[in-house]
Amino acid sequence: MGIERMHFHHGVGFRYNLFQPVATDADHDDGTNMTQRAHILPAYHAALIVNEAIGTSGNSFVAEISTANDNVVAYGIWENDVLVRMVVTNTEVYTTDDEESQKGRNKFEVNLLGAEGRNATVKRLFVPQTTAQHGITWAGQNFDTEDGKPTGQVTEESLDNGVLEIEASSAALICFK
């Protein structure tokens, strides 16, 4: 496709912003109830995933990969005709953030046929519920901070036997080695 650059529409008080750059008044609340300071919004996490997925080579090719489940969407990222990364999203809606209910959250197993024997790591996007504004983490890090800098350690897990388990309303980035 040859995309070299993207520009984002941005305004004050909109939920779709990547971040809220300034404090606002109650009339411009973006749904986070954090009008008193600048802050990161949920879409920022998606931008982090896309950034890592595309990589830095300048030579990546992205294509959708078909799945057997309508709620699971997958994109492969190839460099020099080799699958190097994959993003898998479980779009099933999950609307409770009750800790006890988290235990019953639907999960799907995604079998990455052909990935057996390839070493890979997984970074996960965790969202307490589909409509969450807070408590979202990317690779174990949280951006709900005063300065927008992440807290927590980056966490990556090994992909075992080419099988990825993915919860409702979450995403994973798989990096093949």
Give residue 62's pLDDT: 94
Give the Cα separation of 70 and 81 in Å (integer): 27
Give residue 20's pLDDT: 75
In sign, the C-alpha dihedral spanning 154, 120, 158, 87 is positive
The encoded tokens of residue 101 equal 């209910």
Give the Cα separation of 71 and 10 in Å (integer): 29
Q: Which residue bears the tokens 């897990």?
A: 157
Confidence category of residue 3, pLDDT binned at 50, 70, 90: low
Query: What is the pTM (predicted TM-score) of this model?
Result: 0.83
Give the Cα separation of 134 and 150 in Å (integer): 13
Homologous superfamily (CATH) of 58-176 is Golgi alpha-mannosidase II (2.60.40.1180)
Give the Cα separation of 30 and 15 in Å (integer): 5
Cα end-to-end span (Å), the chain:
26
The pLDDT tens digits for 149-169 are 899 999 999 997 888 999 999
Give the Cα separation of 142 and 69 in Å (integer): 29
- Most distant CA pair in the chain: distance in Å? 55
Most confident of 29-38, 96-105, 133-142: 133-142
Confidence category of residue 31, pLDDT binned at 50, 70, 90: low
Domain residue ranges in the chain: 58-176
Confidence category of residue 35, pLDDT binned at 50, 70, 90: low
In sign, the C-alpha dihedral spanning 22, 26, 27, 31 is positive
